[in-house]
Amino acid sequence: MSIKYIDTVELKGKRVFLRVDFNVPLDPEGNITDDTRIESVLPTIKYCLDQGAVLTIASHLGRPKGKVDKKLSLAPVARRLGELLEKEVGFLNDCLGPEVERTVSGLKPGEVALLENLRFHPGEEKNDPDFARSLAKVAELYVNDAFAVSHRAHASVAAIIRFIDECAAGLLMKEELDCFDQAMENPQRPMVTVIGGAKISGKLETLKNILKKVDKLIIGGGMAFTFLKAQDYQVGKSLVEEDLLKRASEIIGLSREKQIRLYLPVDCVIADRFSPDAESKVVPAQEIPEEWMGMDTGPATNLLFSEVMADARTIIWNGPMGVFEMEAFSKGTRSMASCLADSPAFTVVGGGDTIAAVRQEGKSAQISYISTGGGAFLELLEGKELPGIKALKEKTKGESF
């Protein structure tokens, strides 16, 4: 059973409550420093307005912990949204209550208002049904276009669905789920997954689920050293999770059993300390001196990984190949970004650091799909069903009986 999307719903004259992710980065003066998150839901907003819906938009911003924090007001987002839409966007000082209900009921088809930060109320993060019921009062149709928040069972994503008769997902959600499905569930093969980042602990479930799907698995970043040590390599002071050595061996064994080709770094850029101006050199993965630590994949590894991906028809990438925040240790990650950008495969990238690395390299436009959801993307990779998606599916199922 799939979910219903807004392009199959009658919107004309309908009061729509649209949940989006406007959790944009702000500078200390409260200016928006990157409006990608606003841009990414413009297609849904424009579609609703063109179809003659009456639109009320809701989002969270930052972590105000259930209290009003004026520094985390969505007022600057309302202004920016108005500029992007070239249209007046009304801003409401709260997200519920009689005044909000009165203002929204005065809106006409094609008009739009943005509610104040949902997380100014503790009920949002608690998935409180009373809070959700109050939010629902302004709407006849609920639309979730906040993929990046759909892994959280929060009131505006989960509980609210019980209190609005008709529910659907937006166009960004459709794109996210379609691309993920194309990459992970119905991939063109060979399918290669590249996993990097600091630790295995955060990605164990991801690795286990991926082993059910991939043809080739590339492991880089800090987590590679636990895999190397599990094979008795000396890794010096590199990041190692001692308690996961056995799990790493199991993953290596499982990949052999399933005839999945697993690739680990064959050389590394090592440093004498964890610092941007540390002394560094390239060594084979077998020759990391005791007092040194692995900070990045080496040139032989970068070449090897590019050869592994040469015949790929699908590539999914999450997690940097090294400590890419430090220029001296960013080559592996940058090389990976270029490999994906130059590949004719269907390429999907997710996760904050990985996306930042692709942007830094100026390669975003050459990636088939960049997911807007960090945690949500990882949970999909883990094979989990996201609470927001599950709630929409159940609603769609209920409607079809």
CA nearest to 90, candidates 56, 120, 60:
56
221 phi-psi bin (left φ>0, alpha ψ -120 to 50, beta other): left
- Least distance to ligand AMP, CB of residue 227, Å: 12
Based on the residue annotation, tell me whether 375 is a catalytic residue of this protein: yes
**# binding residues, ligand AMP (CB under 6 A):** 16
Nearest residue (CB) to ligand AMP, 170 versus 221: 221
Which residue is closest to ligand AMP by CB?
197
Element (H, E) at 166: strand 166-169
Per-position x/- string for 290-309, each x denoting binding to ligand AMP as judged by CB under 6 A, each - no binding: ----xx--------------
Spatial distance between the Cα atoms of 189 and 401, rounded to a whole number of angstroms: 38
- Least distance to ligand AMP, CB of residue 7, Å: 34
Site for ligand AMP in 175-204 (CB under 6 A): 197-199, 202
Based on the residue annotation, tell me whether 52 is a catalytic residue of this protein: no
248 binding ligand AMP? (CB under 6 A): no
Q: List Cα–Cα distances, 193 to 66, 103, 259, in angstroms.
A: 39, 49, 15
Nearest residue (CB) to ligand AMP, 188 versus 234: 234
Spatial distance between the Cα atoms of 28 and 71, rounded to a whole number of angstroms: 9
Is the bond preceding residue 289 a cis peptide, omega within 30 degrees?
no
Q: Which of 320, 350, 373, 388 binds ligand AMP (CB under 6 A)?
A: 320
Q: Which of 298, 322, 350, 387 binds ligand AMP (CB under 6 A)?
A: 322
Give the amino acid at 123: G
From 19, 37, 80, 395, the catalytic residue: 37
- Least distance to ligand AMP, CB of residue 351, Å: 6
- Least distance to ligand AMP, CB of residue 243, Å: 17
CA nearest to 295, candidates 207, 196, 229:
196
Spatial distance between the Cα atoms of 106 and 61, rounded to a whole number of angstroms: 26
Query: Is residue 155 within 8 Å of 124, Cβ to Cβ?
Result: yes
- Least distance to ligand AMP, CB of residue 231, Å: 17
Q: Which residues are catalytic?
A: 37, 199, 352, 375
Q: Which residues contribute to the site for ligand AMP (CB under 6 A)?
A: 197-199, 202, 221-222, 239, 294-295, 319-320, 322-323, 325, 351, 353
